[in-house]
Structure 1
Amino acid sequence: MIPLLSNFGDRFSGKGEMARGELMKKLLASYGRDDEFRAVAEQIITEEEAKNNKVLARSLRRSLEVAPPKASRPKALASLIPFPEAAGDFIELVEPSHNKQDIILSAENTRIFQGLLDEFRRGEEIRRRGLSVRSKMLFCGPPGCGKTLCAEIFAAELGLPLYVVKLDRLISSYLGETATNIRKIFEFARKQPSVLFFDEFDAIARARDEDGEHNELRRVVNSLLIFIDRIQPKGYLVAATNLDHALDAAIWRRFDEVVWFDRPDQRMVARFLKMKFKNVAIAFDPADHLDELQGHSYAELDRICVQAIKAAIIDRRKEVSGSDFKHAVADEQRRQRRTRRVTSA
C-alpha cells in the first residue's frame, strides 16, 4: 500500500463515518488514474484540514508530494496489433522522444494543429452528425524545417503510436511489387489506430507526365491515388515531401489538410535559440545574430547551437562565448556554400 493510503487507513480505522468511507472508496477506485487519484486525495486532505487535524493533513500532503509521478508518455488509444507478416518489412514503430515544448511552429500551423487535435477529441460527435474527421495530411517544405519532428509530436499528443514507412524497402526494383507493397501498408493503416508517416513521399507520388517515366511507374502512382482515396485510417496518414513541385497534380485533393513548413522567420529563430540555450550558460546575446541566421532551417540552427556548446565543453569553460557561436555560424555557412556547389554541378 502506498503511504497515502496507509496513513489515511490508520486514521479511518473504526470511525465508521459515511462521508469518509465514500472518499476511501473513491480513492481506491481511482488508483492508477493519476489525475483522478490526486483530486480525491486533495479532497481528503482539505477535509482533514477543515477538522483541524493539521498533523494528519501535513503527513498526507507530504505523502502525496513524494509519490512518484505518473509517466508522462501518452497511452495509445488501442493496443497494438501484431505486424502482419505482409507489411512488417515496410513499417517501423518509432517511440516518441520529443514533446510539444521541443518544436517552434508558426502561428498559422499552431492554429491548424490545435484544430486537428480538437477535431480528433470530438471525433465521435462529428461522425454522429454524418461528417468526417480530417485524417489524411500532407506536409510540405524544405529539409530541416520540422516536418518529421511535427509528425512525431503530433502522434504523441494524440496518444497514438507512430509508424514510419521504410521507403527504401517499399520501393522494389520490380515496380509491380511496389504497388503490392503499398497495398499492404494501407491495409495495415486501416486496422491499426496510429499515425502512419510517409517521409520523402515524392519518391512514390511523382508526376505521371514527367518525361521518361516508365508506364509501370505511372501505374504505381495510379494505385497510390486509389488507395489514398479509399482509405479511412483508424488514425492518421501523414505524408511529407521536400519536393512538392514534383508531386502528381492529382495527389493534392486526396489529402484533407496540407501544411507548409517554411524556413523560420526572425521571431521563430529567436524562440528557437532561447529554447536551445535555456539550460546553458552563455556570455553573449543570441538576438545580436538574428540577421545573419535569416534563411537557416531548424536543422541548421540546431547544428550551430550544438557546435557552439561543444566548443565550450572542449575548452572546459562554463559559458558559451560569442566567439564559439560566431565560429559555429561560419562553419555552417561554409558547409552551405560547398553543398550548393555540389548540388548545382
Structure 2
Amino acid sequence: MATNDQVKQLAKAYLDANDDAFRTGLLQIGAAEAKKGHASAAREMKELADRIKGRPRGKILNLGLVDGLFQVSHPNTRLDELIVSDAVKDKLRRIVDEYRNRGKLAAYGYANRRRILLEGAPGTGKTMTASVIASELGMTLYIVQMDKLITKYMGETSVKLRQIFDAIQHNVGVYLFDEFDAIGADRGLDNEVGEMRRILNSFLQFIEADSSESIVIAATNNKQMLDRALFRRFDDVLHYSLPTAEEAGMIAESVIGGYDTKFFASDKLSERLARLCQAEIVGVCRDAIKDALLSGGPVTNEGVLALCDERLGIYGPSDTEKLAG
C-alpha cells in the first residue's frame, strides 16, 4: 500500500501536470511493493510508469479558445436509460468495460475500443449514446460543431481539424463528430469537390495517428455515403434502428412514469408510437405530460395516441409504415 506521503506526491504531480514527478512516484511505490515481495503489484507500477514515459508530451489546450469548435457538457445519463436493441447495449457495455480495463489489455499488447462509428436513422439514440459513454466513464463530452469546423476558405477546415485532434490528444474525453457524412462522404462521388476530399484525407491521417486515451465517436444518418476507407479506422460500428412496439412502450412508460407512476402503455399505443423514432416518442410523451399539467388530469393512452397521430400527420396520411425520422 502507498504511504500518505506517496499519495500526496502523486496528487501534486497530477495537479501540476508533471509527468516526470508522477512517474517517479509510481516507481517509488513499485520499489516498496517489490521489497514486500509483492512482485505482481511492483510489475504493474513499472508498466504504468513506462506508459507515462512513452506518452507524447504537450500543453493542455484551453478548449474555450479553440474558435468555439466544441459544445462541452458533463452528462449524467446512464446506460439503463438508453432504450436500444440488446445487440447495441451489449456493444456499449463492451466499449465501457474495455476502457475501464485498458491498462490490463495494454499489458498484453491489446488496445481497447475507442474509435466508434454510429449509424442509423435520425432520432434513434446516437447522440444520447455518446452522452451515456461519457457518463458511464465519468468523462467530459465534447461535441464537434460542424458549422464551425467547415468553412469556405481553402485549407482552413484542415487546420481546425488538426486543432480538434490536438484537443483529443491532450484533453481526455469523449469526442462526438455528429452528422459525420459532412466530412466523411465517399471520395468517389461525382459531386464531391476537391477541398472536401482533402478534408477527408486529413481526417483519415489524424485518426490513424491518434494515440490518445480519448474516445472518438462519429455518427451518421447515411452509412452508404461514407467513404469505405473510413470503416477500417473504427474499432466498432453500431447500427441503430427504429424502435419495436415493445421498445416504444418502454420509452413512453419511462418518460411519463417520471410524472405519473401509474401510467401503462397499451399494445395499441405502443404499436402506434413505433411508427416514430425514439426522439419523437419522447417529444410526444412530454407534450402529453404538459397537457396533463395544464388540465389537472392524468396522462391517458388516448391522450398520447392523439398527440402521436398529430405527429404522424406531419408526414402525410399515406405513411402507414415506420418513419425514418
State TM-score, norm by structure 2.
Answer: 0.75
Q: What are the residue-to-residue correspondences of 1:135-214 with 2, within 5 Å?
A: 135-214=114-193
Q: Secondary structure at the match of 1:238?
A: strand
**Structure 2 SS opposite 1:208:** coil
Runs of 5+ unmatched residues, structure 1:
1-28, 30-79, 341-345
Q: Are 2:284 and 1:308 aligned?
A: no
- TM-superposed CA distance for 1:98, in Å, is 2.5
Name the aligned partner's letter for residue 112 of structure 2.
Answer: V
**Identity of matched residues, %:** 29
Whether contact under 8 Å (1:104, 1:272) holds in the other structure is: yes
Paired with 1:150 and 1:256, the residues of 2 have a C-alpha distance of: 16
Which of the pair has more CA radius of gyration? 1
Tell me the SS of whatever aligns to 2:142.
strand
Match of 1:219 in 2: 198
The structure-2 alpha-carbon separation of the partners of 1:278 and 1:92, relative to structure 1 and needing over 3 Å to count, comes to: same
Inter-CA distance 324–190: structure 2 relative to 1 (3 Å threshold): same
Alignment TM-score, normalising by the size of structure 1: 0.71
Native 8 Å contact 1:137 1:237 kept in 2: yes
Q: Which residue of 2 aligns with 1:95?
A: 74
2:314 corresponds to which residue?
Answer: 335
Partner of 2:255: 276
SS in 2 for 1:226: helix
Q: CA deviation at 1:167?
A: 0.8
Equivalence for 1:296: 276
Structure-1 separation of matches of 2:76 and 2:287: 21
1:119 and 2:108 are equivalent in the alignment: no
Q: Do the aligned partners of 2:115 and 2:216 also contact (CA within 8 Å) in 1? A: yes
CA distance in 1: counterparts of 2:155 and 2:228, whole angstroms: 22
Distance 1:123 1:309, change over 3 A: same
**1:13-162 matched pairs, under 5 angstroms:** 81-83=60-62, 87-162=66-141
CA contact (8 A) 1:164 1:196 kept: yes
Q: Is the Cα–Cα contact under 8 Å of residues 165 and 197 in structure 1 kept in the other structure?
A: yes
| Deviation readout 1:100-128 (Å, 9 max, x if unpaired) | 34211211111111111111111111101
Equivalent position amino acid for 1:290 in 2 = S
Pairs aligned (count): 262
User: Is there any run of 5+ residues in structure 2 with no aligned partner, and where?
Assistant: 1-6, 8-58, 320-325
SS of equivalent to 1:272: helix
What is the CA-CA distance between 1:85 and the residue it aligns to?
7.3
Confirm or deny: 8 A CA contact 1:160 1:235 kept in the other structure: no
Amino acid at match of 1:307: D
Supply the distance in 2 between the matched residues of 1:111 and 1:283 (Cα, whole angstroms). 29
Deviates more, 1:306-315 or 1:286-295: 286-295
Equivalent residue letter for 1:304: V
Q: Distance in 2 between matches of 1:323 and 1:158?
A: 40
Cα distance in structure 2, aligned partners of 1:162 and 1:268? 26
Deviation at 1:296, TM superposition (A): 1.6
CA distance in 2, matches of 1:211, 1:177: 23
Q: 1:314 to 1:282 in 2, by over 3 A?
A: farther
Structure 1 SS opposite 2:224: helix
Among candidates 221, 232, 241, match of residue 242 of structure 1: 221
Return the letter of the residue paired with 1:250. A
3-state SS, counterpart of residue 138 of structure 1: strand
Deviations 1:156-199 (A, max 9, x none): 10111111111101101113111111111011101111111111
Deviation of 1:327 after TM superposition, in Å, equals 1.4
- Partner SS for 2:272: coil
Distance 1:244 1:88 in 2: 29
1:59-110 deviation per Cα after TM superposition (whole angstroms, max 9, x unaligned):
xxxxxxxxxxxxxxxxxxxxx9442577353122112153334211211111
Deviations 1:246-293 (A, max 9, x none): 111111111011111111112211221221222315676433322222
CA distance in 2, matches of 1:173, 1:193: 30
